[in-house]
Amino acid sequence: MSATKSFQLNGWHVLAGLSLFFGADIAINVGYVVAAVHTFPGEVASEPYEAGVAYNRTLAQEDAERKLGWQATIEQVAPAVHGEAITVRWTDRSGRLLTGLNVKGVMRRPATEKLNTDLTFNEISPGTYRAVASAAPGGWDVSVTAMDHHGQQRTADRRLVWR
């Protein structure tokens, strides 16, 4: 009869098991952190310091735009021939349609500056302006600025989802 040696758990086995477990856990977490920072470094402005310094000017501009009283309704309408159409309806404080405006816009991804798309709007009916954009599926922040012949301007923003 041969005597088989039974397994005995000792300190070295526990140390090796814990080292393997926590080593794998740390390696996986480091991989996730590297992938996250690589895909989104956390910075959405190309010049964040300058944007921060100019923030008071941005607040003053937004206050002047609010006092102007223009309102915008931004909508995503049915697909167009070369993308999807975006319409903006501009009204003044009393609800009258604003015609003859120079309307431009930009579509941005919420978390990156890649794939920004400039938009040019044409007036299709009094106070209603339309642009066609071709964009990848997902969320897009649309910012539209209208300027009249006196140089007064107003910016409106909305998030749209392309399917």
pLDDT at 23: 97
Enter the DSSP assignment of 42.
S
Contact indicator for 47, 53 with CB cutoff of 8 Å: no
State mean pLDDT over 81-101.
87
Split at pLDDT 50, 70, 90, the class of 115 is confident
Q: What is the mean pLDDT of residues 132-157?
A: 88
Of the candidates 103, 136, 95, 140, the one whose C-alpha atom is nearest the C-alpha of residue 119 is 103
Provide the sign of the torsion angle of the four alpha carbons 58, 159, 80, 71, taken in this order: negative
Spatial separation of the C-alpha atoms in residues 22 and 18, rounded to whole Å: 6
pLDDT of res. 12:
94
What pLDDT, on a 0 to 100 scale, did the predictor assign at position 1? 55
Q: Which CATH class is domain 70-162?
A: mainly beta
Please write the tens of the pLDDT for every residue from 24-53.
999 999 999 999 888 876 776 778 888 888
Those residues with Cβ within 8 angstroms of residue 106's Cβ, 6 or more apart along the chain or in another chain: 116, 117, 118, 119, 142, 143
For position 55, what pLDDT does the model report?
Answer: 87
CA atoms within 13 A on the CB side of 98: 25
Mean of the pLDDT values across residues 58-79? Answer: 84
Write out the E strands in 6-151.
Answer: 71-80, 83-91, 102-109, 112-120, 122-125, 128-133, 138-147
The region of weakest confidence among 8-12, 125-129, 142-146, 159-163 is: 159-163
Q: In this structure, what token pair is assigned to residue 55?
A: 């923030």
Average pLDDT over residues 105-110: 90
**Where exactly are the structural domains of the chain?**
11-40, 70-162
CA dist., res. 142 & res. 71, Å (int): 15
Residue 51: predicted pLDDT: 81
